[in-house]
């Protein structure tokens, strides 16, 4: 009977040492993960600056990625309108009419442009294109353009023909 009790004690002792080893291993793994995250954190934050916009070209007037996208969209629409007018003798009266004029695609007819909403009012002899941000601030100005091709911008109110011209 003594030998069976000894076997049972040995099994319990082995289970305890296995459990201790497992707990020690898990603690070491968690500690190693924490240390490596602390070491990598400064490198990761240095690579991703919070709100520093990198201009896309010399003289880029955009103040953020959102503005760059909005202004790029406006330039495509303006070029498409002038190409359309040259080909047909009048401006397109809707964005859908501009599809395949220049680089204007069917996907671009959708007025939802990320942080901006496009507005378009066209007549055969003129048009107005607006880009209104979902949140108006210094990094998300509103934009306005007419058939003269000049883009106006305003950070305090919806842009119009009297707003300053964006360089």
Please answer whether residues 152 and 164 qualify as being in contact, where contact means their C-beta atoms are separated by less than 8 angstroms: yes
Of residues 38 and 119, the one with the higher pLDDT is: 119
pLDDT the model gives residue 157: 96
Q: Has residue 48 got a pLDDT over 50? A: no
- Residues 49-105 have pLDDT tens digits of 446 899 999 999 999 999 999 999 999 999 999 999 999 999 999 999 999 999 999
Mean pLDDT of 27-55: 60
Any idea where the domains of the chain sit in the sequence?
Answer: 1-48, 65-154
Q: Has residue 120 got a pLDDT over 80? A: yes
Q: pTM of this prediction?
A: 0.70
Which of 72, 118, 68 shows the shortest CA–CA distance to 94?
A: 118
CB atoms within 10 A of CB 144: 24
Mean pLDDT of 134-150: 96
Phi and psi of 74, rounded to 5°? -60, -40
């Amino acid at each position: 009977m003594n030998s069976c009790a000894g076997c049972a004690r040995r099994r319990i002792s082995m289970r305890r040492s296995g459990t201790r080893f497992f707990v020690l291993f898990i603690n070491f793994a968690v500690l190693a993960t924490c240390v490596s995250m602390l070491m990598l954190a400064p490198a990761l934050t240095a690579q991703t600056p919070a709100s520093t916009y990198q201009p896309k070209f010399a003289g880029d007037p955009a103040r953020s990625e959102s503005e760059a996208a909005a202004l790029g969209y406006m330039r495509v629409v303006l070029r498409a309108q002038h190409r359309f007018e040259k080909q047909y003798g009048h401006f397109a009266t809707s964005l859908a009419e501009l599809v395949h004029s220049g680089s204007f695609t069917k996907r671009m007819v959708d007025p939802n442009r990320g942080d901006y909403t496009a507005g378009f009012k066209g007549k055969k002899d003129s048009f107005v294109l607006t880009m209104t941000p979902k949140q108006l601030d210094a990094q998300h100005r509103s934009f306005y353009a007419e058939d003269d091709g000049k883009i106006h911008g305003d950070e305090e109110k919806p842009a119009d023909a009297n707003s300053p011209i964006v360089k």
